[in-house]
Structure 1
Amino acid sequence: MRLRPNFRKTISIMKKKILTLLLAGSSCALFAQTGKKELSLEDIYVEGKFRTESVYGLNSMKDGKHFSSVERDPATGEMYLVQYEYQTGKATDTILRSASLKYEGIQLPASGTFSSEESKILLKTDVEPIYRRSTIENNFIYDRKDGSITPLSEKGRQKYANFSPDASRVAFVRDNNLFIKNLKTGEEKQITSDGKYNHIINGGTDWVYEEEFEFARAFFWSPDGKKIAYYKFNESEVKQYNFAVYDQLYPTDYRYKYPKPGEANSVVSIHIYDLESGKTVKADIGEETNQYIPRIKWTQNPSQLCIFRMNRHQNKLEYLLADAASGQTRLLLTRESDTYISINDDLHFLSDGEGFVFTSERNGYNHIYLYGMDGEIIRQVTDGSWEVTALYGIDEERKLIYFQSAENSPLQRDIYSISLKGTGKKKLSDREGSNDAVFSADFSYFINYHSAAGVPTIVTVNNRKGEVLRTLEDNSTLKETLSDYDLAEKEFLQIPSAEDGIMLNAWMIRPPDFDPSKKYPVFMYVYGGPGSQTVTDSWAGGDLWYQLMAQKGYIVVSVDNRGTGGRGAEFKKMTYLNLGKMETEDQIAAAEWLATQSYVDGSRIGIYGWSYGGYMASLCITRGAEVFKAAVAGAPVTSWRFYDSIYTERYLRTPQENEDGYDLNSPIHYADQLKGNYLLIHGTADDNVHFQNSVEMAEALVKAGKQFQSFFYPNEHHGVRYRYHLQTMITDFILENL
């Protein structure tokens, strides 16, 4: 019998009401059986009942015996910057208090950036985010000796303000030019004059360097404060990307330089300005301009600058030593790879001038190496089938290196020390799970941030031997709040990949009232990008939305496919030149394995991801159309041709070199295979993964005659701020379609 349209609408409404009643009944039954509450989206995203507390504004003082952190008076709301002793926990000084931090009616924050000798503090107001790591603001200088407050400049807002080593000057960028303010005389000197929006940038990075090489301030004081080395980006030949900002009667057309794969990048040069002579020299980085300078770093010698020079394929990295007076360079070291080399900040030059320490994957796992200033290896400091995941620093007095590693498990992180000779390795963290550290200036103490699945963040003060001196935060209030809710255990397991013999790390959250004799739908969460991990033994905000979905009757699962991190270079880099292929095969294989489990309803498996995860979800619902019933893709890359040059070419090379690698792993290529329910979400002002990706995906689906749902967030960037709205929409979609 054919139903009239109004009958169809009535039945649809009835189905939704029945579903709501069933869920309400399930919630009541759960409370009746356990006496515990069910989570709600309002509790998580509106009321903020489960906010994790930590220690904020932490700064280790130069004496190595004290640290400062930001405190709030719960009664008055006043903010303080308080100094404490590491050893005793005694408050020894109130450095700043918000009540006394006003300049001509402007309220200043009670936290900021100390000068290296701690006599002054930079305070920021009117802070406006630009991209992921860049802001523009008004800076004020607070002098701790006399309590005076002085604006850094009254000629316009600044970027990247940074003290000289002796705090006599502050360098900053305005209108793409570099300036130096003399704090003694008040003179503001302009160092460059050719800065121009979307053409020349001095002292700051362009969009793609900021995003992919992960830094925005692009000038650096020499150790003696007599010189500044800075980047100059000529982005004149980089093509513009534009999008509409719906902010007025006629929307604003926002334009910025965004190099896509195979297109022109900025031409980068390095310059060194001498404060005494007022002269600038250009460092010799060779004639090639189609290359990257992902880092520069002063050695301990103030006349010597180290410049990282990398080819566009990102598989050859050279360390150049530049003479600060002449700009002439010599080659210190060359590193090469069959795939790509990751850039980080692990390079440390030793104060005796005899060598340097850095991390490398040269033996298949990321480890610490010691080299001489002649570029020859002295020794490999750490070794084993595990990854060094952070290099905290070097205590040269005791000749110890402090680092974080995944030695115990790819899912966990621990803190270690080891001698420069590679002996006496000692584990300094004693709680299983994820540990991170912030060391004191002299490495006598460290603040340990620990969490685990089911264990909210615990912040402790430890001595250099790892002994806990006291606890700063244990989130006891949060634990008490969570005890009222019926939460399931987060289980860790391994699932077979699509490749025989390779097992994938995964976690699973089952419904709190799980009955192994019943069959449950599965809701998978994925990211899956190179070097990433979603499967870690950490708090991760308590996975509360996934716990909510489990309470609504879903088994929630996340799987780290091939190409993810923590398991060595071979596992991470096997997706090279074929992003998306193995990763999707593994997620499909994982779903197929789950479907064979007696407690899983194999006809009801869905998947969700954002960004790279949105890309994965889109591939899974198309290439895995026979396996996945529903997918939610947030801000997905739908063709790597649309993403930026540095990230994409690192893993795929250029489209001209690897056409199939780009097109055969694009969800757009498989749009005609869609069978299940697909929700596509994107912000219209996403400067990172452009809205273009979702528009092109939608067009391909329309042309293929495929029905799907989509939602756009006006003027939102890559991370949507309206979390309650977003999570409500996704939750409703899953409940109705899975």
Structure 2
Amino acid sequence: MNRSLILVAAALIVSAAPAQDRWPNMPGYKEYQAGNASGQKWRVSYLRGQWTDATHYRFTDLAGAKVLDAATGKVSAAAAQSGPMPTPQQQPDRGRQFSQVKSADGTLAATYRDGNVFLTRNGEEKPVTVEGNLDRGIKYGSASWVYGEELDQRDAMGFSPDGKWLWYYRFDESQVPQYRIAMDQKKQVPSLDVECFPMPGTPNPEVDLFVYNVVTGQSKKVGVRPGAFDHGLGHYVYGINWLEDSSRLLFHRMDRRQKIREICTYEPATGTVAVANREENQAGWVDFGPVSVLGAPRARQNAVFPSTFLYLSEDSGYINIYRLDAKTGRREQLTHHQADVTGMVGQSPDSLYYEVADGKTPYHHTIWRCDPDGKNAKRLTDPNFAASASASPDGKFLTVTYQTDVDKPFLVVMDKTGKVVAKPAVESFEQPAGDNRSCRWFSFPSLDGTVTLWGKVHLPSTYQPGQKLPVLFSVYGGPLGWGATSMRFEKPDGLSEAGFAIVEVFERGGNGRGRAFRQAIYHSLGKYEIDDIAAAATALKSQPWADTGKVGVFGTSYGGYASAMCLLRYPDLFHAASASSAVTDWHLYDSTYTERYMDLPENNAAGYEFGSCLTYAKDLKGWLMLYYGTSDNNVHPSNTYQLSDALSRAGKYHEVQIGVDRGHTGLNLARMMEFFTERLIINPKR
């Protein structure tokens, strides 16, 4: 459940599949078709763009491409851009790494093949390693699946900028449990996919780093840990990048429980390992993400770091901006907000511009400016709006887009003091006459009364005040699952056109509200985030649009787990659930993800039991649809099998849909809507 993939979780809700033949004959289908056809005329532009020089900002509104002159505030039509679009670099498959890397000058290539690394120069290939043996679980130049999936590790080797050194991984997976999945089920003879898949409490892959001297042809082992491989620091080694001057290799290391993260450097010339930074959080988990250079373009492969750089850290309890000198270990905290910094807007020799979740609500993001040393920090934007911005290359101007759920996007130009110097006319919204669809935010208290939560509801174009609609919760619910969400003037979810109110909830565990909010779920997956969704369902009683006797919930991956748990733990609030590709017991998922949030099973047996869907199988009252892909190598089919078996043994009726030869996907839309229409509208009684 890689957090970098979480943003596309909504795309997993439905898998590409032929429509079911029953939904077109059910209530709401014709309205769904008609509403989405007319909805093509419901348009909104977020006025996104980029600076082409110090005073000109090219953006797009509903009328097309425009150019804004920040000095005068005038807007004109933009000339058509010529030249071919750049071809995006192909990324490795989920959980995998690039199998080949090249030196900066293109004269060298390192290739992973059959467990070993090979170097090609002037068309001649020679082995860098020869001891790799996949049958024995030893591989060089590639990583374990959990590294790609849970630690964002896309590289397994990389050349120094000067081309003199090559780092590469070594993994020993000989003690890691192997998981077997039947593939190609539609063929006469299926095949078998075998993956080393560590689970909570089982042996993890043993990791090491090596650096190869391209000139001498010799490799040296990097001292990534003080001794033998154990549960201490160096259990995980990831986030590996060269410094720009090629003098040092930067890497991250953590202990197994992910309580400590160190950023280290290795000097290949001397063999010296030094700790540049250490963060520790014994009350939860440390931010596991590899640091990236704030303000720098995101490199797809083998990014290089300057020796001194800006990055984000939650070490203070909130995400703030820090400056780190990787060579000396000197670190400075530049911002000191009691709210999360959600990103960098721009920087110049005399200014840093950045976004903070500290407006009227945590979802009204604002724009701040400070000096390069962090002094003279000042909020520049109105906290009653959600703001996004872009700074000119010289830092003299900002283009700011303001919006809320009820205020359409509009653009202003500011100087670096926050003074508005222009309000250019833009076309950001178009809505057909008589179309009442809307997306509105609402707040509500948590069940325990300790925190105010927010959600949003999508209402259909045919909605009339006072009308009661059946409700569908669209959920993910997992840690970091909704990113640092900022409020938007949003086109409503087209699914609402079938006659449902579609509700989303920003529950505890998500980003943007500080570490305490983010880590409230520690040791307790399946508790607080589910309680918060239930709190939203409870709050529906005060909403004029909600028919609280017809409430469904759906999601995929963690959203599938959350959907099942909502129905099982709160059967009086939720009446139907579609749970796709769901983890049903945390003993069945991978160690890296699960132990981060739940600790080792031996340390948290009660938490694992509480967070298991199997614990509540006997409590099922509503309608439950389970879906899994037979080729899912992320959340394995055994999760669905075990829950289905527990429900059957408890005498509980449920439905199961199978995606033959599909991977980590969701139930197709037509089948899901057929299920909810039948179970909430046509035949709601059990």
What TM-score do you get using the length of structure 1 for normalisation? Answer: 0.73
Q: CA 1:705–1:517 in structure 2 vs 1: closer, same or farther (change >3 Å)?
A: same
Matches of 1:282 and 1:67 in 2, distance apart?
49
Which of 475, 495, 520 is 1:526 aligned to?
Answer: 475
Mapping of residues 337-348 of structure 1, within 5 Å? 337=281, 338-348=283-293
Instruction: State the partner residue of 2:313.
Output: 360
Q: CA 1:306–1:260 in structure 2 vs 1: closer, same or farther (change >3 Å)?
A: same
- Displacement of 1:355: 4.7
Q: Secondary structure at the match of 1:542?
A: coil
Partners of 2:209 and 2:221 within 8 A in 1: yes
Q: Secondary structure at the match of 1:217?
A: coil
Residues 1:335 and 2:279 aligned together: yes
Q: What do you get for the CA RMSD once the two structures are aligned?
A: 4.7
Instruction: State the partner residue of 1:298.
Output: 242
Which deviates further from its counterpart, 488-497 or 539-548? Answer: 539-548
- Displacement of 1:334: 2.1
Which deviates further from its counterpart, 254-263 or 402-411? Answer: 402-411
Instruction: State the partner residue of 2:642.
Output: 696
- Displacement of 1:441: 9.4
Q: Secondary structure at the match of 1:214?
A: coil
- Displacement of 1:685: 1.2
Instruction: State the partner residue of 1:169.
Output: 108
Residues 1:618 and 2:564 aligned together: yes
Instruction: State the partner residue of 1:489.
Output: 438
Mapping of residues 203-602 of structure 1, within 5 Å? 203-245=141-183, 246-286=185-225, 287-290=227-230, 291-337=235-281, 338-348=283-293, 355-372=308-325, 379-391=332-344, 398=349, 400-408=351-359, 409-413=361-365, 416-425=368-377, 483=432, 486-515=435-464, 517-533=466-482, 536-537=485-486, 542-549=491-498, 552=499, 554-597=500-543, 600-602=546-548
Partners of 1:346 and 1:391 within 8 A in 2: no
Higher relative contact order (CA 8 A, sep 6+): 2
Matches of 1:455 and 1:175 in 2, distance apart?
57
Q: Secondary structure at the match of 2:601?
A: coil
Which of 79, 82, 86 is 1:111 aligned to?
Answer: 86
Matches of 1:224 and 1:469 in 2, distance apart?
46
Q: CA 1:92–1:168 in structure 2 vs 1: closer, same or farther (change >3 Å)?
A: farther
Aligned length: 636
Q: Secondary structure at the match of 2:523?
A: coil
Matches of 1:457 and 1:242 in 2, distance apart?
50
Matches of 1:65 and 1:221 in 2, distance apart?
38
Residues 1:130 and 2:93 aligned together: yes
Q: Secondary structure at the match of 2:647?
A: helix
Per-residue Cα deviation, 1:643-701 (whole angstroms, up to 9, x for no partner): 11111100111112211111122111100100111111221111111111111111111
Q: Secondary structure at the match of 2:551?
A: strand
Q: Gaps (5+ residues) in structure 2?
A: 1-20, 60-66, 71-75, 297-303
Q: Secondary structure at the match of 1:243?
A: strand
Q: CA 1:394–1:271 in structure 2 vs 1: closer, same or farther (change >3 Å)?
A: farther
Q: CA 1:595–1:54 in structure 2 vs 1: closer, same or farther (change >3 Å)?
A: closer
Q: Secondary structure at the match of 1:679?
A: strand
Q: CA 1:225–1:53 in structure 2 vs 1: closer, same or farther (change >3 Å)?
A: farther
Matches of 2:180 and 2:277 in 1, distance apart?
40
Partners of 1:535 and 1:559 within 8 A in 2: no
Which deviates further from its counterpart, 400-409 or 236-245? Answer: 400-409
Matches of 1:519 and 1:352 in 2, distance apart?
56
Q: CA 1:485–1:617 in structure 2 vs 1: closer, same or farther (change >3 Å)?
A: farther
Q: Gaps (5+ residues) in structure 1?
A: 1-15, 29-36, 70-83, 97-109, 114-123, 135-158
Instruction: State the partner residue of 1:13.
Output: none
Per-residue Cα deviation, 1:230-286 (whole angstroms, up to 9, x for no partner): 222222221111111114211111111111111111111111122222221111112
Matches of 2:390 and 2:143 in 1, distance apart?
27
Q: Give identity over the alignment, percent.
A: 28
Residues 1:193 and 2:148 aligned together: no
Q: CA 1:543–1:203 in structure 2 vs 1: closer, same or farther (change >3 Å)?
A: farther
Partners of 2:262 and 2:275 within 8 A in 1: yes
Partners of 1:579 and 1:651 within 8 A in 2: yes
Instruction: State the partner residue of 1:659.
Output: 605
Matches of 1:624 and 1:647 in 2, distance apart?
26
Matches of 2:237 and 2:528 in 1, distance apart?
31
Q: Secondary structure at the match of 1:690?
A: coil
Q: Secondary structure at the match of 1:295?
A: strand
- Displacement of 1:91: 7.9
What TM-score do you get using the length of structure 2 for normalisation? Answer: 0.78
Partners of 1:346 and 1:357 within 8 A in 2: no
Q: CA 1:594–1:95 in structure 2 vs 1: closer, same or farther (change >3 Å)?
A: closer
Q: CA 1:95–1:457 in structure 2 vs 1: closer, same or farther (change >3 Å)?
A: farther
Matches of 1:447 and 1:733 in 2, distance apart?
49
Partners of 1:533 and 1:560 within 8 A in 2: yes
Q: CA 1:51–1:93 in structure 2 vs 1: closer, same or farther (change >3 Å)?
A: closer
- Equivalent AA in structure 1 for residue 124 of structure 2: E
